[in-house]
Amino acid sequence: MNTHDTITDTVARELPTSNGIHISLSAEQIGTLWGIPVTNTMLMSFIVFALLAILAFFVRKNLALIPGRLQTAVETLFVGILDYMTETLEDAKLARKLFPLILTIFLFIFTANIIEFTPGIGSIGWTHGGEFTPLLRSMNTDLNTTLALTIIVFIVIEVVGVATLGFLKYGKKFVNVTSFLGFLVGIIELFSEVARLVSYSFRLFGNIFAGEVMILVIQHFVPMVLPVPIMLFEVFVGFIQAAIFALLTLFFVKIAVTPAH
Amino acid sequence: MEQIISVFGINWKLLLIQGVNFGLLLFILHRYLYKPVIAMVDERREKIENAIKDSERMEVELGLAESEKARIVREATVKGDELIDAAKKHAETAEAMMMKDAHRKAVHLLNEAEHRTNREHDEMLQNAEREVARMAVLSAEKILRKA
């Protein structure tokens, strides 16, 4: 707890704290429920959940053989993604199986990123002992969220790899004793596999968090007009990051199901 | 490591909650959005496929019907021609027969008329002869009485 405070303070001190900018790498805790800490990013992820559930409800309610506008848009998106996945994986069955995961990753991250600048998020809150605690905070600026997604994706990739190739064949990618060079390559593969846990979670977290910080700083110096194009750009970054997270999952699955040669 | 965990506020409870949240979202979206939408797309694709197949089959059937129609028309024409020919032939024979009949009847009537005329002529001659003979007898009687 002690180290936490000092580091946050260091980060905060490097930025003009005296003028009121407070930046915390971790999400702020806003309460405790049944012994579980409730953070503002957690609330945000529930809101994203609700938004997507509402979208699902509306699309499903109006689902018809002759599609309306919303249905056409949703269908075009889904079929486009499914076709792309089938093309990449070269396996229609596996693409259909993974489609929900990939699409949910994209929709979850994308929705969270586009609502990140909704007025009220980050600005409504309360001051507690001289420190401002916002009620809501952009979902992906919490490493817990991105790490949780990364762990899920990591497990799925390994499971799909083992299920497709079989345990021994999949294991051969990492433990290769046929030659010394092969053994080294296997070790490197293993490391890069595990390193994904870090690169995945920190890529998303870093991009979105950096965007938030940049907006905060710019808002501090030029409160009007200038933040708007930056926000627009950050929404674009949010889309790109969502797409990258989903696409990388797809590509790593493809690598996992490709037998080693 | 400890430091990183505390700086970023990583907490296994929060990780678990986020994981469960995502899992639940995945379940709900899969069940209530992806599945119905993809099923609908598949259904539509199937329907379109069927419609195209149906239309292809219809085209083939239409071609068959068309050739069948042509065949029937051709047959009907041939049959009709045959019928007309037969009728014509029949009419011709009937005409000839009627003509012959009429001719025969006319000849017969003529003959009869001639016969009758001849008979009447003969009768008249006989009558006249008889009358003449009677007259002669009468006049002879008259002469004889006077004498």
What is the residue extent of each domain of chain A?
2-257
Chain A residues with CB inside 8 Å of B19's CB?
148, 151-152
Chain A residues with CB inside 8 Å of B5's CB?
none
* pLDDT at residue number A8: 47
Higher-pLDDT residue of A135 and B138 is B138
What does the pLDDT average to over A168-175?
Answer: 77
Question: Residue B87: how many CA atoms within 13 Å on its side-chain side?
Answer: 6
Distance CA(A175)–CA(B80), nearest Å, equals 91
Torsion-angle region of A150 (φ positive above 0: left; ψ -120 to 50: alpha; else: beta): alpha
- A71 to chain B: closest CA residue: B37
Written as six digits, the tokens of A110 are: 């994308």
Higher-pLDDT residue of B48 and B7 is B48
* pLDDT at residue number B118: 93
Cβ contact (<8 Å) for B22 and A148?
A: yes
Q: Could you give the number of structural domains in chain B?
A: 1
- Please return the burial class of A164, using the count of CB atoms within 10 Å of its CB with bins 0-12, 13-18 and 19+: middle
Higher-pLDDT residue of A2 and A22 is A22
What does the pLDDT average to over A52-74?
Answer: 81
Distance CA(A209)–CA(A141), nearest Å, equals 5
The boundaries of the domain holding residue B46 are 2-146
Cβ of residue B49 closer than 8 Å to a chain A Cβ? no
Query: Bridge partners of A39?
Result: A29
Please state, for a pLDDT cut of 70, what percent of chain A lies above it. Answer: 90
Nearest 5°: the CA angle A95, A100, A102 is 75
8 A C-beta contact, residue A8 and residue A22: no
Distance CA(A198)–CA(A185), nearest Å, equals 20
Written as six digits, the tokens of A242 are: 């969502």
* pLDDT at residue number B95: 92
Q: Which of B19, B21, B30 is facing A151, going by the closest CB pair?
A: B19
Pairing of strands A29-33, A125-128: unpaired
Higher-pLDDT residue of A85 and A28 is A85
The most confident of A1-5, A13-17, B54-58, by mean pLDDT: B54-58
* pLDDT at residue number A261: 64
Distance CA(B21)–CA(B141), nearest Å, equals 171
